[in-house]
Structure 1
Amino acid sequence: MKKYVTSLMLCLLMLPLVAQTQGDTIYHFRFEPGNDGLYTAYRNNGTELSRLLACVVQNKEAILAGTVPIQVDGYCNSLDDETEARATARIRSNRVKSELITREGLTEACFTTRNHTSGGDYVTVRIVIPTSPSETGPEQQAETERLAAEAQRATAEQEAEQARLAAEKQQAEAERLRAEAEAQRIAAEQKAEQARQAAKQQRTEASHPAHDSYHLALRANLLRWATLTPDLGIEWRICPSWGLMVNGSWTSWTWDNNARRYALWEVSPELRWYLGKQKRGYLGLLYKVGQFNYKLCGTGRQGDLMGGGITGGYQLRLNRALSLDFNLGLGYLNADYEKYITIDGVRVRRGNKTKDWWGPINAGVTLVWKIF
């Protein structure tokens, strides 16, 4: 660009010589820094415009025919942003061209325009007026050739600049597409990871449910079985928090030639409320009814029992199908029975009695088999 400014100054020095043979060919229009308005009163712009219009009038036919080109160069170096500076230079060039188009009827095809972001705040207009070979001297011929070469060089620079801007734009677009592809890849990976974590959570919940999710289970009180009293029950889990259970026991033993006897049957319905997140601890309401016949010594007792109370306990999970139920019931029992002795294998009644009992009424270590 410094070379371009130096050439421009040389053209200014040679302007008087050129004017003697082929008229004014270079015209300068000054602009205020950062401004794109063309003011005729600013720094001799009005005089330059008059000289330019006179030259255009003299060569109008040749200009419209395309044999006399008009080269317009706009400059702006008073703005920091290169894009704004180039846009301002373009507007300045258009200001000058519009004066020629509106006043003398020229068209855009009559101009060759270049815009620059360095060199100053002005617009130059060059009109190359060819002369006949007989009137053309060596200096004028050299100047014409120099101007033509400079125009070609400026055109090449402009094309190179346009190619550079196009390459930068293409590179920026490629970077944008790469960034979008990377963002999509990361989003897809995050989505896949979330799906994997959700599947893992589902597998964990399936293998370790938050609560015992059975609906029907069979029960056997191991303490009763240890006393040779078979005990079986069934439980229906209405929902995870509520269960309805019925237990039954029965046994009948005699020994010592029927002098000793141990017989019993009981039915114990119970309503349970399971507590906590895992639904393993519980509270319940128990009702008990049955009959008994005990003769473990000289006097036997035979009668009915009935009562109820509050139960509590905890289920220890063994595996998916089995649990141990530890429970204890506290409440009230009433027993109406008769006493008897045995004489020669015959029961002899010795009176009736009623007994009330407050305290433990039930205990168990129960094996629970979850059917489904």
Structure 2
Amino acid sequence: MTVIKRILLTVFLAVTGLSLSAQEKPDSTAYRFRFVAENDMFFSPWSGNGQELERLLAAIDEHRPAIEAGQMYLLVTSYATDGNEEQTAAQVAKTRRNRVKSELIVRGKIKESNFVTDQLFDEAYTDGNGKSLHNMVIVTLPASVEKVAEIAGAEAAARVEAYNKEVSGEAERERMAAKEQAKAEQTAKEKAEQERIAAEQAAREKAEAERMERERMAAEQVEKERLEAEEQARLQAEETAIATPYHFALRANLLRWATLTPDLGIEWRINRHVGIAVNGTWASWSWDDKNRRYALWEVAPEVRWYLGKEKRGYIGAMYKAGQFNYKLSETGRQGDLMGGGIVGGYQLKLNNALSLDFNLGIGYIHADYDKYVVINGVRVRRGSGTKNWWGPVSAGVTLVWNIF
């Protein structure tokens, strides 16, 4: 009967433990949304914001009953916000928070009352690696009891705290832990005698096994050191055989020059794997007694990761910003553009100093512009427009001059 009782108790404890573990209070998770400096627009696909938004919407669906019951809140906080010419940093931070909340209200089908909003905006956000991040909006789910009390009041905090205690089952776990401890102590006493008898035999077998293992490991260590020495010598020989890449180079995109759009840039190879490139483009042409116009300037920084044994192919990320003024027909367009994407390419070595860089960038460009016509030599505005482009955003056959 004693054995049967122990079996039944073990099954009961296991089932109860599973039930309690399934009700544990969820840990708070921070969802990070990035903003462009001095800009309060929320670009969902930009810089990982889309993926982070989908994660947060999934978490909202998972905890919707508790959120709608006022037992769980979303904390919205701004960090290290930059102001601009029209708004102070505090105003920009407020607008950014509202844009993130509006996105969650529309797509997540929640209410304004489900948020607690922190007014903090000037401090930087520190991620898990200790890095300080600027122009961020952080949504934390669930918000802590302390933050709910500070922002929403004591009544809301009491509901959250009661819910946390209910789902965590702290008291029940303590009682079950005490029973498990008592059971473990009894089991230990019953096994003590068996362990004592087996200890001497195990010690003798262990000593013999350790002696044999030491002899085997000593022989393996000698062989391992020999193989490592040979591998190190081979890698060093290969490293020496590969030419050291350039560290600084001047660049000229021949495709741009072919369209009478001067283009120059530089690239700094931080090491064999990583390079930073910046290209600038400027053109200003007019004809037909200034009735036709082609003007453009762009700045496009890139970060590249070089691949392969000789580090000639690469992939990377690029950003582009600039202004344009086109009048190739009766109506001209003048405005700003901004975007970015991923870039890939290959550098074909011509000699020790020159290379050709073939590259293509794919991503997103957004343009805002004014339409105008020219009347008696004067530009007259005729409305405005915007353009969003997904697809190829850059291409080049670039001549690279390795300075050193």
* TM-score of the aligned structures, taking structure 1 as reference length: 0.44
Bigger CA radius of gyration: 1
TM-score (norm 2): 0.41
